Structure 1
Amino acid sequence: MNAAALATASPALADDHAWLRRILEARVYDVARETSLDVAPALSERLGATVLLKREDQQPVHSFKLRGAYNKMVGLSPQERARGVIAASAGNHAQGVALGAARLGMHAVIVMPATAPQVKVDAVRQLGGEWVEVVLAGDSYSDAQAEANRLCQARDMTFVHPFDDEAVIAGQATVAMEILRQHPGRLDALFVPIGGGGLIAGMATYVKAIRPEVKIIGVQAIDSDAMAQSLDTKARVVLHEVGLFADGTAVKQVGALTYALCQRHVDAVIRVDTDAICAAMRDVFQDARSVPEPSGALAVAGLKAYAASRHGAGETYAAVVSGANLNFDRLRFVAERAEVGEQREAVFAVTIPEERGSFRRFCAALGDRSITEFNYRISDASQAHIFVGIQIRSREEREALAAAFRAQSFGVLDLTDDELAKLHLRHMIGGRSALAHDELLYRFEFPERPGALTRFLARMHPDWNISLFHYRNQGADYGRILVGLQVPRHERSLFARFVEGLGYPCRDESMHPAYALLLRSEPT
């Protein structure tokens, strides 16, 4: 959009001088704090670049959103304050409005999607106290916004937009103001997450006015890329659906004003998938000991993708860690997917002959690599289908693994990038099997160190067929497996000596009621 078009969207703010004045006059520090700009040493070393993290997760509401919300609310007239405000938010903007309402003694109605993390809903109620009324509506921000618009008209309240508002954008821009003051040296690119565009619109406008040589690169989840599509098509698009993993940036349509500013000042937008976001969340934790929410790690995921394309150019990058309001129960999913997102785990379905010696050949093909997951249930008299995750260091190693399996004449299906397999099918391998006669079920624990599972598998007695196997590396200092072995009744005493000789803590689960109900094919 050119200057004339921007003037149409916002006549008083068509030039950068007017925006600079608004940003410099933004009143945010009544509630916000100047957050730190920290070097990420591990990530910097791995990428061959200096990586700086702008820690907006350190804000009182653990997100940058209170800057823009408060700047808007504190500028309202006494009459507008008396009528109260209304806002629509996936959670972080809502917390900013709630804190502002409590600080200013102003009634606020906050409409949140029903899919918003409970931690954010609870935080809004706690921050706002008696001043805030929470309404849950719809599945996305856009749904919540529609309900907020309806309530705004019905109650004659002032709408505090989460991104498409001049005061909100100016408040968010103070993040960039701090970055340039904290780091006056070389800065090659600044990475900013994008939902509706308020943060990047303000930051880009400020940076391009002060340091035009710094590249401004937005980052979006691949399933919520409204701004990227809008910039590509040179018109605001409306997404039919948005992904909900990065819920804080799940916006179906970006703002008219934010789009115009991004078109003027943003150099590029990078799209990243869920696995890349999970890997970035882990990276932030390892360097900062803070766990960002998915949207909070978007910028780091984009930075990593950009740095990889530059092959360690020795440049300096900054990324905004925009929020840390994460539901605790998401951590298990994040931990599992981070390995794949970092290309540190390859996932395969491998078919081997159901015959003596084939399992040892499978282990030999693995070499000394660590197994991250192993799922198997006997189901066919001639073939065994194994779901296996393996720790790798690069995509090339993943390809070499597939080649090693094929060299053993094993069937190989690479599932590393398969969403259905990673999300669902890995948990559904099992069931009763008529072939699993004389089956004993045992739970083992062993020291979790490289190659431990491979050595455990190699020690399994060759005379007893493995009919069930489940293992998943959970990041603990010991590994836990569940194994089914077909042991004829007259060899049970020999089996007991074998288990004792292994030396691993174990427990016989053959009489477990859930096993009897779901897996066992005959009485033991």
Structure 2
Amino acid sequence: MKLSADDYLKRILLSPVYDVAVNSDLQKLDKLSAAVGNEIWLKREDQQPVKSFKLRGAYNKLSQLSDEQLKAGVVASSAGNHAQGVAYSAKKKQIQATIVMPATAPDIKVDAVKSFGGEYANVVLHGTSFDQAKEEALRLSQECGYTMVAPFDDPDVIVGQGTIARELLEQNPDLDTLFIAVGGGGLIAGISVFLKHLKPELKIIAVESEESACLQAAMQAGKPVPLNHVGIFADGVAVKIIGDEPFRLCQQYVDEVITVSTDEICAAIKDIFDDTRVIAEPAGALSVAGIKKYLHAHPAVKNQKFGGILCGANINFHTLRYVSERCELGEQKEAVFAAKIPERKGAFREFCEVLGGRAITEFNYRYSTDREAHIFVGIKLREGQQEYDQLSEQLNNQGYQCFNLSDNEMAKLHVRYMVGGRPPSLSNEKLFSFEFPEHPGALMKFLDTLGENWNITLFHYRNHGAAEGLVLAGFDIADEQRADFDQHLAKLGYIYEEQTHNPAYKFFLSDLNGVFEK
């Protein structure tokens, strides 16, 4: 069903979402505004009963169903905010909702769905991925006659999310540019069709995670196309393919698409906390990350009014450790790099003298040879990348070899915690990074799945509170075994990437002493 812009406008204005949703605040971020020289306004969708905007779309969808459909019940598949929105809405309507979630979903999310839905929410745990949960939900819909409540690719859901636009226009009609996070596209579709209809001069910019930029891919292809892989950090927008109807609307009403990195998202979470004392989930901070990146690229823009949407605050507490580690890098207030120093007394002190008065945030060292030591260094920056470039040139002029690791994801996730030893001789070692569904016993299952055909020479496991576990593993693989090993990996079903040629590995962990690559 395709609605015209007039249809969307009328339905948004008449939507009954305020039976359950609140007219959330539009708050000025005073500290961030002062820092960037523009007014930054944030729509506080964390104030909704389920801590995200998803309640709007779910309730509007249920409100459009016939009595017969309501009596039969509804079904949805989700591991997060959509599930909570459907459960809450079903309780309000006093109808039965079946919520299919991956068996790997954290207990906190499963418990939240049960709490919001009470006796009206039946939680079914199925499979280890969202795709498997979605297939089960579709099967239940066909077999039991349930109405499927889609998370974004449904006009009624889009209308519900579009009610945010009505509030924005009432709260601050003078916004110049609005930044909106994109996962499946329901939020930006509903808001943009409403605002562009009433205020066409308002610029609308879509913000995506670099690891799940499905709208950007669709814009380039001219149609929705599936991504080969999506990242796991900003799980609220980790969607492989944008919805058909959201994409149709985005093509008409979205002015620009930008992407932001994990570090930039972490920095935005900190910015939001500094101004509001609210901890946004990664997807909820995308709009602020987008605003900062846009203004960094357009330094001449001043005294404009920019809006963003804090679209969710359902963050796993354990993720905060990871956010804290990465936010300084995202703000370019810290840099991490590798360097060689002579292996002799006083060498570290001499190196620190070259750094001047800069604060050292991290220093990892391991004896390498009688001639040199390899160090992993973190330093505070006051002037961002420009300051690091000047420091790098200064170090090179003093005879130090160094290279920047601030954008090396493997170095930041794994290597910085592993500096401390290398094998005396292991010429056949090959290094791989893996992702696998995170749940109790998942690491043991991963090791069992790998089997015992190849000797594991290096292993580092990292869980930062997401739905996926992260592993860096080395294997002793002779050349004649490589084809068999590759076939084995292909059958495992895990997402993986070879890292053997990553410079951070060569510099700190391999047996190739002296290897140095920029």
Q: Does the TM-score normalized on the shorter chain lie above 0.5? A: yes
Q: Is 2:209 the counterpart of 1:253?
A: no
2:392 match: 402
Q: Distance in 2 between matches of 1:371 and 1:136?
A: 47
How far did 1:256 drift? Answer: 1.1
Counterpart-to-counterpart distance in 1, 2:123 and 2:105:
12
Aligned equivalent of 1:330:
319
Task: Tell whether 2:372 aligns with 1:383.
Answer: yes
1:338 deviates by 0.7
Matches within 5 A, 1:115-264: 115-138=104-127, 140-185=129-174, 187-264=175-252
Letter in 1 for 2:389: E
Between Structure 1 and Structure 2, whose CA radius of gyration is higher?
A: 1
Shift of 1:75: 2.2
Q: Who is 1:94 aligned against?
A: 83
Q: Secondary structure at the match of 2:76?
A: strand
Kindly state the Cα deviation for residue 295 of structure 1 after the two structures are TM-superposed: 0.5
Q: Which letter does structure 1 place at the counterpart of 2:77?
A: A
Among candidates 100, 105, 117, match of residue 111 of structure 1: 100
What is the CA deviation profile of residues 333-354 of structure 1, one whole-angstrom value per residue up to 9, with x for unaligned ones?
1111111111111101111001
Instruction: Give the one of 410, 413, 426 matched to 2:403.
Output: 413
SS of residue in 1 equivalent to 2:308: strand
CA deviation string 1:126-172 (max 9, x = no partner): 11122112233455544432221122112110001111111111110
1:256 is matched by which residue type in structure 2? D
Kindly indicate whether the alpha-carbon contact (under 8 Å) linking 1:142 and 1:252 is maintained by their aligned counterparts in 2.
no
SS in 1 for 2:318: helix
Match of 1:269 among 243, 247, 257: 257
Paired AA for residue 236 in structure 1: P
Question: Deviation at 1:48?
Answer: 1.3
Deviation at 1:251, TM superposition (A): 1.0
Q: Which residue of 2 aligns with 1:29?
A: 18
- Kept in 2, the 8 Å contact 1:347–1:414? The answer is yes
Given that 1:57 and 1:322 are in contact with CA atoms closer than 8 Å, whether structure 2 keeps it comes out as: yes
Distance 1:196 1:340 in 2: 28
Task: Supply the AA of the counterpart residue of 1:173.
Answer: G
- Residues 1:22 and 1:141: Cα distance change in structure 2 (over 3 Å): farther
Equivalent residues of 1:172, 1:202 under 8 A apart: yes
Name structure 2 gaps, 5 residues minimum.
425-518
1:368 corresponds in structure 2 to 357
Please name the residue that 1:457 is paired with. none
Letter in 2 for 1:411: Q
How many percent identity over aligned positions?
51
In structure 1, distance between residues paired with 2:272 and 2:106: 20
2:288 paired with 1:300: yes
Between the aligned partners of 2:354 and 2:166, the Cα distance in structure 1 is: 54
Write out per-residue CA displacement over residues 479-505 of structure 1, whole angstroms, 9 at most, x where no aligned residue: xxxxxxxxxxxxxxxxxxxxxxxxxxx
Measured on the aligned residues, the alpha-carbon RMSD in Å equals 1.6
| CA–CA distance in structure 1, aligned partners of residues 34 and 87 of structure 2 | 40
1:220-259 deviations in Å (ceiling 9; x for gaps): 1111111111012111101122111111111111111111
Paired positions, count: 422
Quote the offset at 1:402 in angstroms: 1.2
Q: Is the 8 A contact 1:141 1:251 kept in 2?
A: no
Which moved further from structure 2: 308-317 or 245-254? 308-317
Q: Which residue of 2 aligns with 1:64?
A: 53
Return the match for 1:47 from 36, 53, 61. 36
Residue type of the partner of 2:400? F
Give the TM-score normalised by the residue count of structure 1. 0.78
Deviation string for 1:391-429 (max 9, x for gaps)?
A: 112101011121222222112121111111111000001
In structure 2, distance between residues paired with 1:309 and 1:93: 34
Cα distance between partner residues in 1 of 2:217 and 2:269: 25
CA drift of 1:375 comes to 1.1
**2:37 & 2:241 partners in 1: Cα distance?**
36
1:275 partner letter: D
Displacement after TM superposition at 1:117 (Å): 4.4
Deviates more, 1:325-334 or 1:39-48: 39-48
1:116–1:247 contact (8 Å) kept in structure 2: no
Assess, with a 3 A threshold, how the Cα gap between structure 1 residues 159 and 341 changes in structure 2: closer, same or farther: same
Deviation at 1:378, TM superposition (A): 2.5
2: CA distance, partners of 1:252 / 1:49: 34
Query: 1:144 and 1:306 mapped to 2: Cα distance?
Result: 36
- Could you say if the C-alpha distance between residues 116 and 286 of structure 1 is closer, same or farther in structure 2, counting changes exceeding 3 Å? farther
SS of residue in 2 equivalent to 1:328: coil
Q: CA 1:218/1:313 → structure 2, altered by over 3 Å: closer, same or farther?
A: same
Q: Normalized against structure 2, the TM-score is what?
A: 0.79
Residue type of the alignment partner of 1:265: Y
The Cα shift of 1:308 comes to 1.4
Shift of 1:431: 4.6
List per-residue Cα deviations over 1:419-452 (Å, max 9, x = no partner): 1111100000125999xxxxxxxxxxxxxxxxxx
AA in 1 matched with 2:393: A
| Alpha-carbon distance, 1:78 to partner | 1.4
